[in-house]
Amino acid sequence: MGAYQHILLAVDFSGHGGTVAQRAKDLAEKYQAKLSVIHVLDNIPMPDTGYGTVIPLDKDSCYELLEAEKVKLMQIGDQLGVAQVNRWMVWGAPKQEIVELAERERVDLIVVGSHGRHGLSLLLGSTANSVLHYARCDVMAIRLLNG
């Protein structure tokens, strides 16, 4: 049995995601581990009413955005050969949702890019940094130099 049994790839669909995805796939093959993939929806506008999360005002454009994100997740899942049940699209703050899913699904390695949409000027992007701090399993940040 390999060192890792369940690897979680976090994807934000930024330009260099392919490098990160390929590394996660290689690791899953090397360790014969289960591979899961998560995308957190954090860019779909949700009005803050003070009563928690509610349906967005413009339902049609929100639905289109959701569908587009889902298609991208399915494409990555197909490319990597990830089983349908291991493809996750959740709503919320990426740093929190990635760590929570990893705990719930007994992931032992999370793979993220060192930068995504949020952190090109930093050594480590904000999501990557947070996951590294709060995850209770190993985290591999794939170093990405350029956007």
List of residues contacting ligand AMP (CB under 6 A): 10-12, 20, 38-40, 42, 94, 98, 112-113, 115-119, 125-128
Three-state DSSP class for 123? coil
- Residue of this chain nearest to ligand AMP (CB atom): 125
Q: How far is the CB of 93 from ligand AMP (least distance, A)?
A: 9
The nearer residue to ligand AMP, 1 or 145, going by C-beta atoms, is: 145
Distance CA 11, CA 79 (A): 13
Q: How far is the CB of 127 from ligand AMP (least distance, A)?
A: 3
Three-state DSSP class for 2? coil
The nearer residue to ligand AMP, 77 or 113, going by C-beta atoms, is: 113
Q: How far is the CB of 100 from ligand AMP (least distance, A)?
A: 12
Element at 74 (helix H, strand E)? helix 59-80
| Nearest residue to 76 (alpha-carbon basis) of 64, 90, 66, 88 | 88
The nearer residue to ligand AMP, 33 or 38, going by C-beta atoms, is: 38
The nearer residue to ligand AMP, 11 or 33, going by C-beta atoms, is: 11
Q: How far is the CB of 1 from ligand AMP (least distance, A)?
A: 26
Distance CA 107, CA 127 (A): 18
Q: Would you say 20 and 9 are in contact if contact means Cβ atoms under 8 Å apart? A: yes
